[in-house]
Amino acid sequence: MDASLKRLRVLSAYFPDFAGLDGPIHDAEVVLSGYDPRARQKAGDLARHRAATHWLVQDGFIRSVGEAESGAVPISLIADDASGPRRLLHLLASSDWESPAILAEARYLIAFKRDEGLSRINCGEPAIWNAPVGKPKVLVIDRTADEPWLGQPSAGPEIYSATVEAARRDHPAGHILVRRDSRAAGGAGPAALAVADTVVDQTDNVMSLIAQADAVYVVDSLIGLDALLSGRRVTVFGQPFYAGLGLTDDRATEGVAKTPRTLDALFAAAYILYPRYVDPLTGEACTARTGFERLAAFKRHADRVRGCWVGLNIPAAKQPVLKAFLAGPQSSFSLYGSNPGPSTRFANWASWSSAAVRRAQAKWPGQVTNIEDGFVRSVGLGSSFHPASSLVLDSRGIYYDPRQPSDLEHILNTVDFTPEALARARSLRAAIVELGLSKYNLQVRPTLDVSGAGDRVRILVPGQVEGDASVLAGGEACSNLTLLQRVRRTAPEAYIVYKEHPDVTAGNRRGRILESDAQALADLVVRDVDIIACVEAVDEVHTLTSLTGFEALLRGRAVVTYGWPFYAGWGLTTDRAEGAGPTRRAINLDALVAGALMTYPLYLDPISWLPCDAQTFVDRIRVLRASSAVSSQKPRGRIMRLGQAAKTLLFPPRPPAY
């Protein structure tokens, strides 16, 4: 096994059936090598000397967002005979493995791949194809750096030239775009390229070109397989494994006769049965579906944060987290930009206003993005410097400020979620409720005794941090004492539970009510009880702008608002705020969950610090919370808080390349 493979930390997960991957080679039965010519030659010599089989290992057909050179760990690998893809060709020649279940899974993943725009490498800006209106768009793939693939013979430059020329003959009125790879030598010659309308280098996202193409021409490239699975007409001049199956227009003069196969069967063989997948979050072997879902989450995250980010007024404790979220295969993050300009994206911590932010907003309108913690944030308090694993990025405003539009409000007002998305939202909500998750997921006493309420209506009033941005923007700077007084006037006979905010209890923030005042207005005052236990013990939640109101909606409780939190005004709450609020349409709870938890935030797995979707994030929070030693809401003290801050700064989250 060569050094390039040994660098893969989870190699044994790809090959659990191979023993001795790190051991001596004197009794080797299989010798593995990567595609590097020298490593391949050395492995071949060793295999012949030991009478062993030489297997060539390459990336699978879906790999990562970034290129291999970036260090991105591949989601899938393929191992096959060094002389060619014998295992794959055997699968395609046989139908013994076919079943309704595997073909149904293939159809699902073909649609998923197309909808998410997944390919082997998934970076690059979306391509803009400027062709005259009405002209057919014909995409020609010149030689790429990954050809030849898995030991197949290498085509000469004359074949690539013939491919371009044939595209022009077949489509005399078409707009011919040739996509080249500057890293690969031996492609189409100048005379052939001259018949094309446009020649581009492969800095764009190839799937965006395929989506615009009417026809695709290739020699051996795997991009032809991407085009075929995207429903495009594909003409092939080489002999890739997917040619000759009755699915492509084959122009090669020679070739081995093959059994015709359906597109579903081709996909099942090439993407489900043939590769080996490893979940980059856990380092364990996984199914093809899990691999596709992980890569789609990586791509969505990378696309959303694409660009050069400059932090304007980021608190020191939040800087490592911002870098973890914003620096990636298509983006960078720094605190100070040397030459900010029209393409710079400015990161602003929304609750921290500064003159630098106002200057940037005036000079580069539309380039400042407001950032805040997400709604299911972490295991541990932010004020105790536990890093956030969920953030929201908002280019219009911020979710807690009803005085201006926000991206979340725009999503909820305009997006009509599909039935599938709403079903995922229901499943996500059920998981959150079942696991008892909240914003901070603290380990505290899990139950609340409200037996003293008798048959009275039980109301929870969650305290907030006075001076918090949501209170100032959406709550008219109302104090906790004033809110508690209003609730008592509204429901004089109710059994009222007042829950102090954990940041206030921990001594990190202000907002404490005198014990005598709290006892006079509330029937029960609690501090060391989990907020979800409080919600589940009552009939109603009355709040100013607290996230607890949203958590109560998730659990089917009636919610009364006295300010304008992001979840009010949609027909799901009773709104008693003074003054007119923002214009919001009526939606159901599933749509609120889909917008607020699935679409608006970004998530990083709190264990591996890789991007993930909302459902995966919830699952990983559960794992982390079960193993965490995070304390309850006991006051931490300045020294302990500074210690946690130092830990966050000295040992920040470091996401692997993806």
Contact 597, 614 (CB under 8 A): yes
Higher per-residue confidence, 380 vs 82: 82
What's the pLDDT tens digit per position in 366-408?
899 999 999 988 665 554 557 889 999 999 999 999 999 999 9
Contact 261, 92 (CB under 8 A): yes
Q: Which tokens hold the place of 200?
A: 């581009």
Report the candidate in 186, 230, 223 with the shortest Cα–Cα distance to residue 205: 223
Q: What is the pLDDT of residue 162?
A: 96
Terminal Cα-to-Cα distance of the chain (whole angstroms): 24
Domain 100-278 fold: Rossmann fold (3.40.50)
What's the pLDDT tens digit per position in 605-616?
999 999 999 999
Give the three-state DSSP class for 395.
coil
DSSP state of 268: I
pTM for the complete prediction? Answer: 0.89
Contact 475, 501 (CB under 8 A): no
DSSP 96-146: TT--HHHHHHHHHHHHHHHHHT--SB--SEEP-----TTPPEEEEE---TT
Rounded to an integer, what distance in angstroms lies between the CA atom of residue 511 and that of residue 602? 30
Domain 442-610 fold: Rossmann fold (3.40.50)
Q: What is the pLDDT of residue 121?
A: 92
Cα-based torsion angle of the residue sequence 415, 419, 421, 424 in order, rounded to the nearest 10 degrees? 150
Give the three-state DSSP class for 344.
strand
Higher per-residue confidence, 125 vs 459: 459
% of the chain exceeding 70 in pLDDT: 90
Give the three-state DSSP class for 281.
coil
Q: What is the pLDDT of residue 190?
A: 94
Higher per-residue confidence, 189 vs 475: 189
What's the pLDDT tens digit per position in 422-471?
999 999 999 999 988 888 766 555 789 999 999 999 999 999 998 888 89
Spell 172-203 as b/e; 16+ CB within 10 A means b.
eebbbbbbbbeeeeebbeeebbeebbebeebe
% of the chain exceeding 90 in pLDDT: 62
What's the pLDDT tens digit per position in 395-405?
999 999 999 99
Residue 632 has pLDDT above 50, yes or no: no
Find the radius of gyration of the CA atoms of the chain.
29
Taking CA atoms, 141 is separated from 86, 182, 210, in Å, by 25, 12, 11
Strand partners, 80: 56
Which ranges in the chain are annotated with CATH 3.40.50? 100-278, 442-610
